[in-house]
Chains A and B, each alone.
Chain A
Amino acid sequence: MLSLPPVEVSNLQLLWFCLIAVLWIGYFVLEGFDYGVGILLPVIGKTEAERRAMVTTLGPVWDGNEVWLLTAGGATFAAFPQWYATLFSGFYLPLLLILVALILRGVAFEYRSKHSSAKWRRNWDIAIVVGSFLPALLWGVAFANIVRGVTFAMTPIAGVPGQPSIPGESPIYGGTFFDLLNPYALVGGVTTLLLFVTHGAIFLSLKTNGTIRERAHALVPKVGVAAAVFAVVFLLWSQLAYSGGKMWTWVPVLLAAVCWLVGLGMDRLKRDGWAFVFSAVTLGLAVIALFGMLFPFVMPNIDRAMPGLAIPGASSTPYTLTVMTWVALIMTPIVLCYQSWTYWVFRKRLSADMIPDPEVGSLDHVGVGS
């Protein structure tokens, strides 16, 4: 099941490797700003009305954004079950932390407005900050470890009862939790954290007016430059140490750097829409670069001379991949259409003074043109 290069990858398998990358791009671009806004909640939102305006920019969309992660998980299970099984059981504790964070912030978004007590809202604000900070950091750590590679151990496979059994082995993650906290991975974690915070601040500049927008604009260059420094270190480190000598991955790496700087420049010019487009494209290019370096492996061996988990050894049968391809080809455009429509419906900029009275603007009281 583990293999050494050269690895033969079929077109279907390549397609699904790319589709998984697309799902992660969707997730990082969309929920990336969710995390950023969540982390910035107490930094930019100085008053309750400002914080409510910030949460309301996410209100209609955060759940749909998170489904990109669920789809990435489900698609990995369906298309690359060995990858799903090895990765999810191997990175057990970081994933547990991510799950706890996602539970807390999901409930927090929905519950914070359902009771007007200040203490209730303060507590949920803490949940939003922590619940956004942890995944923003940990997805970077996780991705860096995937690109860096892991050690493997082998375990025997149980046969099917009543059928002649031929012994076989499955690869499992052979390291420990603390192996995941290596310097390279931590740089990766800080990189995604800072990228998402900047992306969130740019999103707020685009989606708000008044004090929130001013503070977001003031914040973008500071966090954005720090993010640029970490991202450059991280991507260069990845390219030089872990890309297996691929030249083409320099293209997305360099393009990402350019787009990020253009995005920051657009933000200075208050061209908020373009700033958001460029920061989104940067995140996309970073994911493309990382998946490109990973290819043809899905979890390389940390010692590149040893066999790692490659696309063919991880993948489903051609039949399953074909079925899934049809589903993805039909459904993805439809999903993109209605999700874009949601963003169109809620396109207006929000500001603190548009926020209705807490007792009016909740579901059990209907505001009458207040």
Chain B
Amino acid sequence: MGNLDLARWQFGITTVYHFLFVPITIGLSFLVAGMQTAWVRTNNPKWLQATKFFGKLFLINFAMGVVTGIVQEFQFGMNWSDYSRFVGDIFGAPLAVEALLTFFLESTFLGLWIFGWDRLPKKLHLATIWAAAIGTALSAYMILAANAFMQHPVGYVYNPETKRAELVDFFGVLFQNTAVIAWVHTVSSAFLVAGTLVCGISAWLLMKGKAREMATSTVTMGAIVAIVAGVFVGISGDADAKIMVVQQPMKMAAAEALYETAGPAPFSLFTIGTLDGSQPLVSVDVPGALSFLACGDFTCDVQGINNLQAQYEQTYGPGWYTPNIPITYWGFRLMIGLGMIAVLFGMWALWATRRERVPSSKWFLRAAILMPFLPLLGMSAGWIFTEMGRQPWIVFGLMETADGVSPGVGVAEVIISLVVFALLYGALAVVEFGLLLRTIKQGPPENLPADPYERSDDQDQPLTFAY
């Protein structure tokens, strides 16, 4: 394996790993803010219990998201220096805005939230978690706007003298439809993840007889969030598919393993045969559905891989412009399938806990334990699909991934960093998961008074909370 493949593996591993924590951070920060709002409004201790319990899970997850995020910001320069030179004029700006506008917001206000329970007035303290939550969502917007430039470059000119893409329309880059739709899709998926997480854990608590009053409320809250988020995921996913057909038709064709242009084009549910779906033994299709997905009517033409390959050779010169079909085809299916299962589980949970029932089915318990993982893996699959489906491009139509890698960084250096990150991330995953499980098994704090805090600015009062 050369420098390029190693750098790609490292980017893939560190990014997918980082993105296990991101959706939970985004979704759960809002849900915890919602729980605390319910507490402030009703003064019911069950909502304080929920805030404390899910807040702790949130913080365990958040720490990992923060530290793995630093790697992401450095990695562009370390491993993708030619990419950074080429797009820095455009891509650097949203990254810098992200740090200045949102990282400061998240980190500062979370610090205030963690340590401010007895320091700040009740409503001001509530505002800190909302500020942090809004910070996470804005942060997602900035990085998705940067990513959208890689999927669909706009607002730039290529300057042959400096040999780089140069920004001419900042707001064009920031607010192009690719970015807006990707943000709605990603953030609603994050809510699906967090909703399922809260629902699954609460269902487990309920069945184990822990914190019954709280869990009855949070199981419903999680399920409703998951179902509503699922609707938004579906709508934004559909919009995303429609612009993908226009902006990156090859990715859509690869997602469907559609080799020849077809109209009406069928939507393939799954195939058995070769992994890339080129010679299916069994293939289950919905006739016309891909056409509908792509342009809103059941008969329109959807371009196939072979035609697009020929077309790109015309435009960009000889080369291989087809992404890895097995990964895009199955990544697309896993993304949709796992997301749908999570929504179905939300409905099941609502039914099983209707009118404050405590579910007793063994299958429901198993599903509750398994379920939080599925939409999270679905999101990983979706990102792997999106990024792999853009290949061989790092910036679609402008720069190939092979041209973006750092020319000065040797194979030995990338092997060292890849091994170091893999070992460190692996060890931290074990520690983090152990801590999450321990916290969940401990269950929420019991017998809380309605408001345990004596808020004061007295500088000599003992701490109620310390690290």
Q: Is B362 in contact with chain A by the CB < 8 A criterion? A: no
- The verdict on B324 contacting chain A, using a C-beta distance below 8 Å, is no
Instruction: Determine if B340 is an interface residue (Cβ-Cβ < 8 Å).
Output: no
Query: How big is chain B's contact interface, by range?
Result: 35 or more
Q: What is the minimal beta-carbon distance from B45 to any residue of chain A, in angstroms?
A: 10
Is A361 within 8 A of B463, CB to CB? yes
Produce 1/0 per residue, A346-370, CB < 8 A to B. Answer: 1111100111100011111111111
Q: Is A320 an interface residue (CB 8 A)?
A: yes
Beta-carbon contact of A77 and B95 below 8 Å: yes
Q: Is A14 an interface residue (CB 8 A)?
A: no
Interchain pairs with CB closer than 8 A, number: 317
Contact B52 A63 (CB under 8 A): no
Residue of B nearest to A61 (CB): B111
CB distance from A91 to the nearest CB of B (A): 9
Q: With CB as the reference atom, state the residue of chain A lying closest to B63.
A: A110
Contact with A along B437-467 (1 / 0, CB 8 A): 0110010110011001110000110111111
Closest beta carbon of chain B to A326's beta carbon, Å = 9
- Bound Cα distance from A55 to B413, whole angstroms: 34
| Given known A324-B96, A364-B445, contact A370–B107 (CB-CB < 8 A) | no
Beyond A170-B85, A317-B166, A363-B59, is A74–B92 a contact (Cβ under 8 Å)? yes
Interface membership of chain A positions 272-307, coded 1 if the CB is closer than 8 angstroms to chain B and 0 otherwise: 000000000000000000000000000000000000
Of the candidates A102, A164, A323, A327, the one having the most CB atoms from chain B within 10 angstroms of its own CB is: A323
- Cβ of B68 under 8 Å from chain A: yes
Q: Which residues of B contact A77 (CB under 8 A)?
A: 73, 76-77, 84, 88, 91-92, 95-96
**Is A258 an interface position by the 8 A CB rule?**
no
Return the contact of A85 from the options B81, B98, B170 (Cβ within 8 A). Answer: B81
Q: Is the CB of B454 within 8 A of A78?
A: no
Which A-chain residue is minimally distant from B403 (CB atoms)? A158
Which residues of B lie under 8 Å from residue A71 when comparing CB positions?
96, 99-100, 103-104
- On chain A, which size bracket covers the interface? 35 or more
A364 pairs with B463, CB closer than 8 A: no
Assess whether A89 is interfacial by the CB under 8 Å rule: yes
Given A89-B77, A345-B119, also A364-B466 (CB < 8 A):
no
Query: Across the two chains, which residue of chain B brings its CB closest to A339?
Result: B108
Interface: A265 (CB within 8 A): no
Say which one of B187-195, B353-361, B393-401 lies at the interface with A.
Answer: B393-401
Residue of A nearest to B444 (CB): A364
Q: Is residue B317 within 8 Å, beta carbon to beta carbon, of the partner chain? A: yes
* Dominant secondary structure at the A interface: helix
- Nearest CB in chain A: distance from B409 CB, A: 5
Complex interface bits, B43-84 against A, C-beta within 8 A gives 1, otherwise 0: 000001000110110011011101110110110111101101
- CB-CB nearest in chain B for A91: B78
Query: Which of A69, A102, A342 is B111 in contact with, Cβ under 8 Å?
Result: A342
Which residues in B have their C-beta under 8 angstroms from that of A96? 78, 416-417, 420
CB distance from A217 to the nearest CB of B (A): 20
The answer for the CA separation of A356 and B438 in the assembled complex, in Å, is 22
Determine if A370 and B462 form an interchain contact, defined as CB atoms under 8 angstroms apart: yes
Which residue on chain A has the smallest CB distance to residue B94? A78
Determine the chain B residues whose CB is within 8 A of the CB of A350 once the complex forms.
463, 466
* A99 contact from B70, B82, B317, B403, Cβ within 8 A: B70
Asked if B377 is at the interface of the complex by the 8 Å CB criterion, the answer is: no
A76–B81 CA distance with the chains assembled, in angstroms: 13
Task: State whether B103 touches A109 (Cβ < 8 A).
Answer: no
Q: Besides A63-B111, A92-B409, A112-B467, 19 other CB < 8 A contacts? A: A70-B103, A78-B88, A84-B88, A84-B92, A88-B76, A102-B70, A107-B432, A111-B431, A158-B403, A319-B166, A320-B166, A327-B97, A332-B100, A345-B116, A346-B115, A363-B55, A364-B52, A364-B439, A367-B452
Is A148 part of the binding interface, using a Cβ–Cβ cutoff of 8 Å?
A: no
Q: Provide 23 A-B residue pairs closer than 8 Å at the C-beta atoms, listed in order of the A residue.
A: A60-B111, A77-B88, A85-B77, A85-B84, A99-B74, A107-B67, A109-B63, A111-B63, A113-B466, A153-B408, A160-B398, A160-B399, A161-B317, A317-B89, A320-B90, A320-B170, A323-B167, A335-B108, A342-B111, A366-B48, A366-B453, A367-B464, A368-B464
- In the assembled complex, B344 has its CB within 8 A of some CB on chain A: no
Chain A proximity mask over B366-386: 1 for CB below 8 Å, otherwise 0:
000000000000000000000
B2 within 8 Å of A (CB atoms): no
Q: Do A92 and B413 contact each other (CB < 8 Å), given the known contacts A60-B115, A355-B463? A: yes
Bound complex: CA A40 to CA B56 (Å): 28
Taking a contact as CB atoms under 8 Å apart, the answer to whether B77 and A84 are in contact is: yes
Which residues of chain A are near B409, meaning CB under 8 Å?
Answer: 89, 92
**A3: CB under 8 A from chain B?**
no
Q: A89-B408, A92-B413 are in contact. Are A161 and B316 (CB under 8 A)?
A: yes
Chain B 107-125 against A: per-residue CB contact (8 Å), 1 yes, 0 no? Answer: 1111110111001100000
Is A221 engaged at the interface, CB distance under 8 Å to the other chain? no
A324 touches B467 (CB 8 A): no
From B89, B101, B397, B445, contact of A316 by CB (8 A): B89
A181 touches B (CB below 8 Å): no
Say whether B88 contacts A82, CB under 8 Å.
yes
Q: Tell me the bound Cα distance from A107 to B59 in angstroms.
A: 11
Q: Is the CB of B100 within 8 A of A328?
A: yes
Does B430 interact with chain A (Cβ within 8 Å)?
A: no
